[in-house]
A and B are shown apart, each in its own frame.
Chain A
Amino acid sequence: MSIKMTREELAASINYKFPKTNWMDTPVVFKKGTYNNAAVPDSITYVNQPNPRKWQPYEDDWKLPENWQTIILEGLRERLHKFRSLKLFMDICVRCGACADKCHFYLGSGDPKNMPVLRAELLRAVYRKDFTTAGKLMGKIAGARELTFDVLKEWFYYFYQCTQCRRCSVFCPYGIDTAEITFIARELMNLIGVNIDWVMTPVANSHRTGNHLGIQPHGFVDSIEFAVDDLEEITGIRVQAPINKKGAEVLFVTPSADYFGEPHYYTLLGYLALFHEVGLDYTWSTYASEGGNFGSFVSHELMKVLNAKIYAEAKRLKVKWIIGGECGHMWRVLHQYMDTLNGPADFLETPVSPITGTKFEHARSTKMIHITEFTADLIRHNKIKLDPSRNDHWHATFHDSCNPARAIGLFEEPRYILKHVLNKFTEMPDNTIREQTFCCGSGAGLGTEENFEMRMRGGFPRANAAKYVNEKYGVNVVACICAIDKATLVPLFNYWVPGLEVAGVHEFVGNALVMKGEKPRELDMRQQPLHGKEEESKNV
C-alpha cells in the first residue's frame, strides 16, 4: 500500500502536543497521503454542479469563481435560515473540550484542528466575522476571521478529514453534531466546485447507472448470476435471484460493493442463501442497485436525488415493502432523511415478515427495515436452522458502524444474530463499541489510495481496540454491517493488525444456515474448508 512508514513509526509519530502558534496562525500543509484528489470536471458536469474544471488541492490556483467568498457567505446565510441545527451549533459551544480527544482523526494524527471543537471553529470563525456584531467589530480577539483563500484551504483539508461519524456528538453536553457542521461546510464548498473525486464520481455514476461503481444493468445481472453459481458450488442448491421483478412482495436494496467487492461478496452469498431458505418473495433492482448514497457526503440535494430511486423503484415494481442490506451511511439516509426527503411512502405497506408474521411497527412510515432486524426476528422465531459450528474457524468481534450506531441505535440486532451463528464471540473494550464506537477512518468519501496515511491514522483507534482482542483472546475476524467498513478495514488491519479478517454479519449467517436439500458443506462462503473438514479432506 502507498505508505512508507511502518506501523511502529506511524504510532510513534502520534503525540498530543500543541504548536506554539495559535490555530488561526497555523496554515495547512497539503502533505502527500493526507488529502483527497479534486473531482474531475466530467463528474461534476454530469450532475450539473457548479464550477467543473481541472484542479488539485496542492496547486496555488484553485480556479475559483471571482466572487467565491460572496457565494459561500450567501450560501451560509441561506443555510442559517434553513437549519436550526447550524444556527444553534454556531452559537452555543462553550469550548469545554469534552469532544477534543473523542475524534479518531485527532487520536491518530494529533493535529489540533482535528479536535471536533476546532473543526467547528473553522466555520464558526467565519460565521462570527460576518454574522455577529462582536466578530465584525473585534475580529480575531472575538474568535472571528475573514474567509480568505488560506481559510478555504483549511476548510477543504479538515472538512474532508471528518468522516461524519458523530462520536463527538455523543459526548458534547449540548449535543453539537460535527457531522452536521461538516455536512454544511462541504455543501458550501460544493457551491464553488471545491469537492473530491471519490465523492463526485460515484455520485455521477449512481445518478446514471443506479450505483456508485457505474455497473450497467447487464453487469449487475452477471454479478448476481455469478454469485448464484458460487453459492451452488458451496451448498449444492441453485437459488432464485429475481431481478426487476414486478409484483414481488419485497424490494431488496444493498450497497453495490456487496456484488463487486471483497469481502462484501460473501455477505451477498449469505443474503441469497437466506432469502431462498425462507422462501422470501423478493426482487433485486438494477435501477435502484445502490443503497449507499455518496450524495450525502456533499449536499442534501444530491442525497435526495440519489435516494429518490429507491421509492420510485418500489412504486414501479409494486412491491409492498423494502429491506435494506448491510451499509452504514446508507442507513443514516434511510433512517433519518429518506422519509422527509422523498416520502411519504403511502403506496407501500407496513413491513410484515411473511415467515414469522412479525409486524415491524417501528418502520411503519418508511416501510423499510434493516436486514439484521429481519434476520434476528427469524432466529427468534426458530424459522431457520443454524449450525454455528460451521463458523468455528472464526472467533469474531463486532465493530459497530458509526451510522447504524449513532443514528439508529442498531446495537443488539446484529449481536443477537452473531451469537446464534457463531460459537466464539468477544466484544472489544466498552469505550470503543456501541455508541462509543470508533470509525474505520475512511467513511464519508475518504477511502482513497491517495489519502492512505490519513486513513491509517484515522483508523488507528479502531485497529487498536481490535488488536487488543486479537492478541488477548485470539479474535481473528471483525464482523460489521457497513460496506465502507468491509472495504477499508481490510487494508487498515493489514497495516495495524496483520492476520485479522473482516466479514459481514450475513456471511456468518450463510455459513451457519442449514438449507433444505443442501449437500454436506465442506466450504464456507469464501470457499475455504470448514473447520475440521480440512483434516478430513486430507485423509480421504
Chain B
Amino acid sequence: MGLLFSIFTFIILLAIAFIGAYVEGLHYLFGIVLPYIAFAVFIIGIVVRIIKWAQSPVPFRITTTCGQQRSLDFIKQNKIDNPFTGLQTFIRMFFEIILFRSLFRNTKAGIKENKLTYGANKWLWLFSIVFHYSFLIIVLRHFRFFTEPVPSFVPFIQEIDGFFQIGLPIIYLTTIGITVGLLYLLARRIFDNQVRYISLASDYLPLFLILSIAITGILMRHFFKVDLTPVKQLTLSILSFQPILPADVNPIFYIHLFFVCTLLIYFPMSKLVHMPGIFLSPTRNLANNNRAKRHINPWNSDFKMHYHTYEEYEDEFREVMRDVGLPLEKEEKNVD
C-alpha cells in the first residue's frame, strides 16, 4: 500500500513537473519562485528541527558501549567503540558518520535444522556508502553551477570522478554509483519480505525523488546534451537575488529542478532528517565516563516521590532487628 501510494504521489509530482517545464508561462514560477521557497523551507525546516531536538535535554548518559571500557590499567580499552574522553567520542562519531561503522556490523540471521546461523551481511552498508558518497560528490560537483569563479575543489573532484574517461561527455563514477545505490535500496524495499513489511510510503518516496533527480540529470548530460550556459545564468542570478529568467533553457532542466525543490521541501519533515539527527544521537555522542564524571539532569528535581528512609525502615523492623543483634539508630520502647 505504501509503495502504491508513493508511486501515485510520484506520478502526480511528475505531471506537475511536466506542466511546469512545458508551459512557458509557468517558468518564472518553477524556475525562480519555487527554488527560493524550497531553499527557504529546507534551511528553516532543518534549523527548526534541530532546535526542537536541542530544546529537549539529555537527562541521562545512555551510551551504547560496543567495546571494552576503560577501567584497570592492564586491560586494554577499546577507545573507538567505548570512548572515555571527548576526543575518543569525536573519533567514534567520525567513524559513525563517515564510515557508517554500526551498519558495517550488520549480520544476517537464519534458521536451519533448528539451529541459528549468522552470516556477514555487508551489502546494505556497501550500497549505502556508495549512494551517500555519490550523492555528496554530485552536490559538490554542482558548485560549478552556483559559483563564479568556480572554487578549485570542484574541477579536482570532477577530475577524480571522471577518472576512467569513459564516454563523451565523460561518465562520472558517481553517476553510476548513485543509480546503482538507489536501485539496490529500492529493490530491497520491494523484494526483501522483511524490509517490505516495515516500509511506509515515506520510505519509498525519497528514493523515487532522488532517483528522478539522478535520471533527469543523466538525461541532460548524456542524452539531451543541454546547454548549461543559460542554466548557470539563472542560478547565479537567483543567488545574487536579482533573478532573471534566460530564454533557451531546455525544459528537462525544469523537471530536474522541480524534483530538487520537492526534495528540499520534503527533507525537513521526513525521515531524511536522519542526516542532522545522527550528530545528536545520545547512545553514540556521549562518552562512557559515567562513573568518573557526573552527568546532570536539569529536571532531576521533578521526581517528587519520597524514598523509604532508613529511619522509617528501622521504625518498622526495630524489634526483629534487636532480636538478631543488629545495631540500631534509636533504642526506644522496650517491649518487655
Binding site for B on A (CB under 8 A): 8, 11-12, 14-18, 22-23, 48, 80-88, 91-98, 100-102, 107, 112, 115, 117-118, 121, 132-134, 141-143, 166, 169-177, 180, 207-210, 216-218, 221-222, 243-246, 286-287, 300-302, 304-306, 308-309, 312-313, 316, 335-337, 339-341, 343-344, 358, 360-366, 368, 373, 376-377, 380, 405-413, 416, 429, 431-432, 434-436, 460-461, 464-465, 468
Assembly CA distance A286 to B309 (angstroms): 13
Q: Identify A87's interface contact among B56, B81, B100, B321, CB under 8 A.
A: B56
Decide: A175 near B317, CB < 8 A? Known: A92-B271, A376-B72: no
Q: Identify B61's interface contact among A100, A301, A340, A362, CB under 8 A.
A: A340
B330 interface residue (CB < 8 Å to A): no
Which residues from chain B contact A84 at a C-beta distance below 8 Å?
A: 53-54, 56-58, 280, 282
Which residue of A has the minimal Cβ distance to B73? Answer: A358
Mark interface residues in B53-91 (1 if CB within 8 Å of A CB, else 0).
111111111111111111110111010011010000000
B309 touches A312 (CB 8 A): yes
B48 interface residue (CB < 8 Å to A): no
* Most chain B beta carbons < 10 A, residue from A85, A180, A410: A85
Which residues from chain B contact A209 at a C-beta distance below 8 Å?
A: 313, 317
Which residues from chain B contact A17 at a C-beta distance below 8 Å?
A: 193
Q: Identify B297's interface contact among A88, A173, A221, A341, CB under 8 A.
A: A341
Question: What distance in Å separates the Cβ of A305 from its nearest Cβ neighbour in chain B?
Answer: 5
Which residues from chain A contact B294 at a C-beta distance below 8 Å?
A: 339-340, 343-344, 365
The count of residues in chain B whose C-beta lies closer than 8 Å to any C-beta of chain A is 103
Which residue of B has the minimal Cβ distance to A14? Answer: B111
Which residues from chain B contact A341 at a C-beta distance below 8 Å?
A: 297, 300, 303
Question: What distance in Å separates the Cβ of B229 from its nearest Cβ neighbour in chain A?
Answer: 38
Decide: A174 near B274, CB < 8 A? Known: A80-B56, A287-B313: yes
B245 interface residue (CB < 8 Å to A): no
B70 touches A362 (CB 8 A): yes
Assembly CA distance A373 to B61 (angstroms): 21
Q: Identify A12's interface contact among B114, B278, B316, CB under 8 A.
A: B114
Known interface pairs A176-B281, A300-B303; 5 further A-B residue pairs with C-beta atoms within 8 A, sorted by A's residue number: A15-B111, A84-B280, A171-B105, A173-B278, A339-B290
Which residues from chain A contact B118 at a C-beta distance below 8 Å?
A: 429, 431-432
Decide: A305 near B317, CB < 8 A? Known: A92-B274, A95-B199, A169-B283: no
A180 touches B62 (CB 8 A): yes
Assembly CA distance A403 to B283 (angstroms): 14
B269 touches A133 (CB 8 A): yes
Decide: A460 near B116, CB < 8 A? Known: A143-B200, A170-B102, A217-B320: yes
Which residues from chain B contact A406 at a C-beta distance below 8 Å?
A: 64-66
Q: Which 6 A-B pairs have the closest CB atoms?
A: A409-B69, A409-B65, A92-B277, A11-B114, A175-B283, A308-B307
* Most chain A beta carbons < 10 A, residue from B55, B66, B76, B84: B66
B327 interface residue (CB < 8 Å to A): yes
Question: What distance in Å separates the Cβ of A101 from its nearest Cβ neighbour in chain B?
Answer: 4
Which residues from chain B contact A169 at a C-beta distance below 8 Å?
A: 64, 283
Q: What's the count of A-B pairs with C-beta under 8 Å?
A: 317
Question: What distance in Å separates the Cβ of B125 from its nearest Cβ neighbour in chain A?
Answer: 9
Q: List 27 A-B contacts (CB under 8 A).
A: A84-B282, A91-B277, A96-B195, A107-B109, A115-B194, A132-B269, A141-B1, A177-B62, A216-B320, A217-B324, A286-B317, A305-B308, A312-B307, A313-B310, A336-B60, A339-B294, A340-B60, A340-B294, A365-B292, A405-B65, A406-B66, A408-B288, A409-B81, A411-B68, A411-B69, A416-B75, A435-B81
A18 touches B197 (CB 8 A): yes
Question: What distance in Å separates the Cβ of B282 from its nearest Cβ neighbour in chain A?
Answer: 5
Which residues from chain B contact A143 at a C-beta distance below 8 Å?
A: 200-202
Which residues from chain A contact B69 at a C-beta distance below 8 Å?
A: 362, 408-411
Q: Identify B65's interface contact among A48, A94, A134, A408, CB under 8 A.
A: A408
B64 touches A175 (CB 8 A): yes
B64 touches A170 (CB 8 A): yes
Question: What distance in Å separates the Cβ of B217 from its nearest Cβ neighbour in chain A?
Answer: 23
A335 touches B57 (CB 8 A): no
B252 interface residue (CB < 8 Å to A): no
Q: Identify A174's interface contact among B75, B278, B306, CB under 8 A.
A: B278
B115 interface residue (CB < 8 Å to A): yes
Decide: A301 near B198, CB < 8 A? Known: A101-B108, A208-B308: no
Which residues from chain A contact B58 at a C-beta distance below 8 Å?
A: 83-85
Which residues from chain A contact B67 at a C-beta distance below 8 Å?
A: 409, 411, 434-435
B103 interface residue (CB < 8 Å to A): yes
A316 touches B310 (CB 8 A): yes
Question: What distance in Å separates the Cβ of A362 from its nearest Cβ neighbour in chain B?
Answer: 5
B72 touches A373 (CB 8 A): yes
Question: What distance in Å separates the Cβ of A427 from its nearest Cβ neighbour in chain B?
Answer: 15
Assembly CA distance A360 to B280 (angstroms): 30
Assembly CA distance A344 to B111 (angstroms): 49
B62 touches A409 (CB 8 A): no
Question: What distance in Å separates the Cβ of A212 from its nearest Cβ neighbour in chain B?
Answer: 14
A210 touches B72 (CB 8 A): no
Which residues from chain A contact B290 at a C-beta distance below 8 Å?
A: 335-336, 339, 365-366
Q: Which residues of B from 266 to 292 have beta carbons under 8 Å from A?
A: 269, 271, 273-274, 277-278, 280-284, 288-292
